[in-house]
Amino acid sequence: MRMSRHPAYFRFWHYLGHYALKLAALLVLAFLMLPILIVVPLSFNAEPYFTFSAGMLALDPDAYSLRWYGEIFSDPKWVLSIKNSFIIGIAAAAIATTLGTLAAIGLASDTMPYKRLIMALLLSPMIVPLIIVAAGMFFFYTRFNLVASYPGLIIAHAALGVPFVIVTVTATLSGFDRTLLHAGISLGASPFKAFRDIVIPLIRPGVISGALFAFVTSFDEVVLVLFLAGPEQRTIPRQMFSGLREQINPTILAVATLLITLSIALLVTLELLRRRSETLRGISS
């Protein structure tokens, strides 16, 4: 016998509120996603326009083309920006993951003094407006000749990514049983070996999630790049910003479509990691 999906006490107003809430959620989702998804078909426009042509609306195959995707890899500026985005993003994510994980483990300790104050300071890059952070970094980095350099941009992006790693790893550590670590040490393992073989495998999903968030933050950042990058450190967001000001063509839409695809892949990965983390922590979905 099939069980009802709703409680037995549900009446007309309960059903009305239930489905009204679902409808509202779908409308909000559509409001957020439609402006983004409209970019995808426009990126296949055979004409150099940002609007649907008559042929596209008539579904004429000749009105669609991969022309603008080919332009991405034939333009040295786009090739350089893609290369820079991945190099800077991966390096910044590696630094942010290492520092953020260590900070989260320290903040999870019961003996950590001034825990709330330190946490607030570490999460401040998420709260302070980016224009203020960028201006401060510009004047600070100028003293050390880090402006218009790869190390300066990587360090700046890593600083923005650290709070995301701290949040995700701290959430993972909230369900961690510390008696496992003490048991490993009591059985003769060194603190480092116990940490490596017991703690790291259990918090790995949170660490990887934090690394992905740090990478996306760096990959999508444009304000810091405008302040700190030189011509050789041009990234994808910086190139898109320049393209909108200098020469508008659907190559920008093609790049945006590729970024949407990358974002979807990362979101799917994060969801799989979240489920794995819940499984390791014994939480049933």
Q: Identify the pLDDT of residue 268.
A: 86
Q: Where are the domains of the chain?
A: 79-280
pLDDT single digits (tens) 164-209: 999 988 888 876 777 777 788 888 878 788 878 888 887 888 888 8
pTM of the full structure: 0.81
Residue 251 has pLDDT above 90, yes or no: no
Residue 283 has pLDDT above 70, yes or no: no
pLDDT single digits (tens) 40-54: 888 888 888 788 888
Residue 1 has pLDDT above 50, yes or no: no
Q: Specify the fold of 79-280.
A: MetI-like fold (1.10.3720)
DSSP 17-73: HHHHHHHHHHHHHHHHHHHHHTHHHHTTBSSS-SS--HHHHTT-GGGB-SHHHHHHH
What would the mean pLDDT of 86-104 be, rounded to a whole number?
Answer: 93
Of 184 and 26, the structure prediction assigns the larger pLDDT to: 26
List Cα–Cα distances, 98 to 87, 163, 237, in angstroms.
17, 12, 25
Helix and strand totals (H; E) in the chain: 14, 0
Q: Are 228 and 151 in contact (CB under 8 A)?
A: no
Gyration radius of the chain over CA positions: 24
Q: Are 236 and 81 in contact (CB under 8 A)?
A: yes
Question: CA end-to-end span of the chain, whole Å?
Answer: 23
pLDDT bracket for residue 263 (50, 70, 90): confident
Q: What is the phi-psi region of residue 17: left when phi exceeds 0, alpha when psi lies from -120 to 50, beta otherwise? A: alpha
What would the mean pLDDT of 100-125 be, rounded to a whole number?
Answer: 86
